[in-house]
Structure 1
Amino acid sequence: MIRIDYLNHASVLIEIENIKLLTDPWYFGTCFQNGWGLRYDNNKAIEIASNATHLWISHFHSDHFHILTLKKILEINPDIVVIGNYSYNFQLNNVMESLGFKKIIPFAERKEYYLNKNIKIIRYPTTGIDNMLLIQSVYGNILNYNDCNLPSLSRKLLSKRIKSVDIILTNFNHAGKLLVYPKKDDAEIKTKLKKNFKNNFLFFDVKYIFPFASYHYYKAPESFDQNSSMLRSDELLDLDTRILDVKIGDSLVYSKKDDLIAINKAEILENELKVLFRETKYQYEDIEEASKAYCKTLRSNYWIFTKLLPNFYIEIVDLKVIVNLDAQRGILQTDKKHNIVPHIKVQSESIYHWFSTAYGTDNFIVGAHFEIANKNKIPLKWQIIFGILIDNKLSVKSIFKMLFSYKGIQFLINRREEIIGIILERKVNADYHD
């Protein structure tokens, strides 16, 4: 028998025999620089998580790697065994040790690891930081496929390797700023989300589909209106008879032998959605200095290629200025008489955090801390690409180093299906983001 308790967002407790594997705990607070909140509070999540024997974090995004929740888990369950992803660009096992976890097992890419004699796991990496987890046992196979944005050819190739799956867990909502201007109709966005959700499991030989990892909401005032275009899980049920009607707080029991699945329902009320109020106003000089340091990082990672970046105009609303982000010199104020239309609008606090904090671009984009103000999104997209590749340690400089390292070459080989799909389909992002 397999039991799955749905604790919150991307966090489940999977129980098989004497193994209780906890994933991606985020049970309270916010993430992405306060850009996201939880749609639901499950008061039983911490109590259930206290019984976990093992913990696996899929990737470093703060809705999965939520430090405050992890510290609480450590407090109530100090003997939990961490299955720490070990990759060329990120070593989660080292970070978990720094948080105070004592029992840590490095978990390499595409290598089998036995939790006991009857249960094994294998991790398939995607992009720079995301991962899917395959759990195999005589009781059934489970594929945790959250935030894995892959071209269709890549999914097809991986499905042949993974073969049959009893239960696939996969996300169904947008997770970051929608790069659209003007705003699209909610119904149109939801239609794209449904298509993307179906594509997640299209090529896999799967019995049941478990929708999850999509119960956040946007707090940033610039993107609060995106909440109305997010799907509820019950809006998915008509897409495929294999989709389970499961929500946060529910638990299910699956018997492969009898091919039976039972869901125990819980009643959890939705939280009030609250807009983020930013209290701090940064001075222009502080942002200017932070931008120079950020642009220095850009140049060190992309060398001469930074000269190819187009003009990118940003209106800092609370400072009442429009600046151009110049990769050679940082932000430069524009002359008001030129009547320049900015590409995005931001608050001083948001742009300062973008330039000055670790993984700043990732937090800025996924946290959706800006408003799109121009139909021309090309300059914005180039800034996103350059910045996120640095955050994921996949910049030109990083790739160049990989090519002269055995571990770096192995990193690329381990993503071979994804690389083939990107090259042949020329597709790197989900359809719903544009």
Structure 2
Amino acid sequence: MEIRLVSHASVVIKSDVSIWTDPWLHGKAFNDSWSLSPLPAFDEALYDEIDYIFISHEHPDHFHVQTLRSLPEAFKNRVTILYQKNNSEKMFNAFKRLGFPNAVALPHRETVDLTGQTKVYCCQAGTMDSALGVISGGEVVLNLNDCEINAGDCRRILSDLGKVDVVLNQFSIAGYSGFQDYENHLPQQSRNILDKMMANHLDLRADLTIPFASFIYFSSEDNKYINNYSNKPQDVAEYFAEKEQKLAVLYPGETYRTGTEHDSTAALARFRKFYDSMETLTYDTSKKIPLEEIAAAFDNLVRHLHEKYPVSLLRLLLKPVTVRIPDLDLTVVFSVASGEFCEDKEAAPDLIIKSQPLHFGFSYPYGIQTLGVSARYTLIKNFPNWRKHRIFFSLNNAELYLRPKFLFTPHNLNFFKERLPGAWNQFLYRLKVMR
């Protein structure tokens, strides 16, 4: 098989068919907080070769609406979208609205024939992520992208696939939990990502890893500090060399053919030259959003949560949160349980968030997740309470509602049945990494 790097998390995997993963060719992501870096390398001649598009999950750096909407109509009508089968139809409805009439739901931990030679395998992780295995000609390429998996998950994947030749993996910071003393947390977070890459590589008994997801920079004025702690391809290469494990570094536009030796020297030199010019990158400043609009967005969110979740559970688990909004020079207290949203000049803040990202967080089901991925808040205190909020908002975005009439639906029951093997292991692991 041939693997061509296009951009962040985006490759074209070619056997007797071609699969394009997570297209992102232009524009920004995560409430205009991430930008591509370096720029993509996509040859438009590939439109005639690509047969399938795999979307790993709904985060906007993988499900990039602006890119998908802009693709040629004839291409949209010809290709087939591959997406994980879960408890919701919302993504398949979104594909149709974007002009893709053909989509296939990939079942959890099963192989699906694309041709007589090539099969695909989808393995879900957490409430959102999924990995794609491509099996062809006796070789297996596993695209892990954002999946947080541990040794137990790797054993299950190996049991399903038999072997893994090449792993495609994330290599740098993809969000931050907002701790105020970031200079103490972010270096370790970067190191942990390298450790995770190596653990996945060894646990999957892979021949080679390709670092392919993290070709972005944090591009807002209030998150650009993250860039000082990001891993570069050179960091990954040195780490794998130290462990005497095989790595293939690709620059956008370059290819790797499975089963061959790969010299990363030229790609690493191009990356060094690119990162030497980082001072020319641009950063956005968000506009102010009036408090009345933030309050209205919160009120809509609360009414939805009260409809979908037992209010008694919200009262038990979610305590009020105090937020300092520096660009409005005021402090508010909000309570998901009671619906309260009010100013409080005397309260010490739990969080510091500017008005635009706070408004965005309340306005969309994925908004609070975006706050963390975009690294646009500061956590001062009461982390356990905020973590519970993040868990609830993740469940809400996944449409896993806890009122019985919404929870025990045929879609959900089938989803729980399919995900039961390994679910407890995944749940404990997600709690561990959500820090």
TM-score by length of 2: 0.88
- Which of the numbers 247, 260, 271 marks the counterpart of 1:243? 247
Amino acid at match of 2:124: P
CA positional deviation for 1:429: 4.7
- Aligned match of 2:339: 329
- Which of the numbers 405, 408, 411 marks the counterpart of 2:412? 408
- For 1:250 and 1:283, locate their aligned partners in 2 and report how far apart those are by CA, in whole Å: 47
- For 1:124 and 1:116, locate their aligned partners in 2 and report how far apart those are by CA, in whole Å: 20
- Aligned match of 1:427: 429
Amino acid at match of 2:430: V
CA positional deviation for 1:135: 1.2
- Aligned match of 1:31: 29
- Which of the numbers 265, 268, 283 marks the counterpart of 2:290? 283
- For 2:334 and 2:93, locate their aligned partners in 1 and report how far apart those are by CA, in whole Å: 35
Is the 8 Å Cα contact of residues 131 and 145 (structure 2) preserved in structure 1?
yes
- Aligned match of 2:119: 120
Pairing 1:295–2:302 present: yes
- For 2:420 and 2:150, locate their aligned partners in 1 and report how far apart those are by CA, in whole Å: 12
> Match of 1:365, SS?
helix
- For 1:38 and 1:278, locate their aligned partners in 2 and report how far apart those are by CA, in whole Å: 19
> Match of 2:71, SS?
helix
Change (3 A) 1:381 1:106: closer
- For 2:421 and 2:251, locate their aligned partners in 1 and report how far apart those are by CA, in whole Å: 32
- Aligned match of 2:315: 307
Is the 8 Å Cα contact of residues 220 and 275 (structure 1) preserved in structure 2?
yes
Is the 8 Å Cα contact of residues 84 and 107 (structure 2) preserved in structure 1?
yes
- Aligned match of 1:388: 394
Is the 8 Å Cα contact of residues 368 and 393 (structure 2) preserved in structure 1?
yes
CA positional deviation for 1:208: 1.1
Is the 8 Å Cα contact of residues 10 and 212 (structure 1) preserved in structure 2?
yes
CA positional deviation for 1:227: 1.1
> Match of 2:257, SS?
strand
Pairing 1:183–2:189 present: no
> Match of 1:116, SS?
coil
Amino acid at match of 2:340: G
- For 2:98 and 2:195, locate their aligned partners in 1 and report how far apart those are by CA, in whole Å: 39
Pairing 1:136–2:144 present: no
CA positional deviation for 1:141: 0.8
- Aligned match of 1:318: 327
CA positional deviation for 1:341: 2.3
- Which stretch shows the higher mean deviation, 8-17 or 348-357? 348-357
Change (3 A) 1:90 1:228: farther
Is the 8 Å Cα contact of residues 110 and 124 (structure 1) preserved in structure 2?
yes
Change (3 A) 1:45 1:8: farther
After superposition, what is the alpha-carbon deviation per residue over 1:101-123, rounded to whole angstroms, capped at 9, x for unaligned?
23333433334321110111121
CA positional deviation for 1:50: 5.2
- For 2:154 and 2:400, locate their aligned partners in 1 and report how far apart those are by CA, in whole Å: 21
CA positional deviation for 1:379: 2.5
Is the 8 Å Cα contact of residues 74 and 100 (structure 1) preserved in structure 2?
no
- Which of the numbers 43, 51, 54 marks the counterpart of 2:52? 54
CA positional deviation for 1:178: 3.2
> Match of 1:164, SS?
coil
Change (3 A) 1:64 1:91: same
Is the 8 Å Cα contact of residues 254 and 262 (structure 1) preserved in structure 2?
no
- For 1:14 and 1:332, locate their aligned partners in 2 and report how far apart those are by CA, in whole Å: 52
Change (3 A) 1:375 1:42: same
TM-score by length of 1: 0.88
After superposition, what is the alpha-carbon deviation per residue over 1:353-411, rounded to whole angstroms, capped at 9, x for unaligned?
21123422222222223223x1432232122111121011224238x744x34442331
- For 1:153 and 1:112, locate their aligned partners in 2 and report how far apart those are by CA, in whole Å: 20
- Aligned match of 2:364: 357
- For 1:29 and 1:47, locate their aligned partners in 2 and report how far apart those are by CA, in whole Å: 21
- Aligned match of 1:88: 87
RMSD value, Cα: 2.4
- Aligned match of 2:39: 41
CA positional deviation for 1:38: 0.9
- For 1:302 and 1:236, locate their aligned partners in 2 and report how far apart those are by CA, in whole Å: 43
After superposition, what is the alpha-carbon deviation per residue over 1:155-184, rounded to whole angstroms, capped at 9, x for unaligned?
333333332011111112221223423113
Change (3 A) 1:61 1:200: same
Identity %: 21
CA positional deviation for 1:333: 1.1
- For 1:381 and 1:221, locate their aligned partners in 2 and report how far apart those are by CA, in whole Å: 25
- For 2:220 and 2:45, locate their aligned partners in 1 and report how far apart those are by CA, in whole Å: 30
CA positional deviation for 1:59: 0.9
- Aligned match of 2:382: 376
User: Where is the helix percentage greater, Structure 1 or Structure 2?
Assistant: 2
Change (3 A) 1:250 1:298: same
Is the 8 Å Cα contact of residues 111 and 120 (structure 2) preserved in structure 1?
yes
- For 2:189 and 2:108, locate their aligned partners in 1 and report how far apart those are by CA, in whole Å: 34
Pairs aligned (count) = 418
CA positional deviation for 1:323: 0.8
Is the 8 Å Cα contact of residues 131 and 145 (structure 1) preserved in structure 2?
yes
Amino acid at match of 1:235: D
- Aligned match of 2:348: 341
Amino acid at match of 2:285: F
- For 2:350 and 2:83, locate their aligned partners in 1 and report how far apart those are by CA, in whole Å: 40
- Aligned match of 1:163: 162
Gaps of 5+ in 2: none
After superposition, what is the alpha-carbon deviation per residue over 1:252-282, rounded to whole angstroms, capped at 9, x for unaligned?
1124xxxx23468565745643222113x22
CA positional deviation for 1:422: 4.0
CA positional deviation for 1:82: 2.2
Larger RCO (CA within 8 A; separation ≥ 6) = 1
CA positional deviation for 1:90: 4.0
Is the 8 Å Cα contact of residues 84 and 124 (structure 2) preserved in structure 1?
no
Amino acid at match of 1:352: H
Is the 8 Å Cα contact of residues 85 and 92 (structure 1) preserved in structure 2?
no
Amino acid at match of 1:316: I
Pairing 1:196–2:196 present: yes
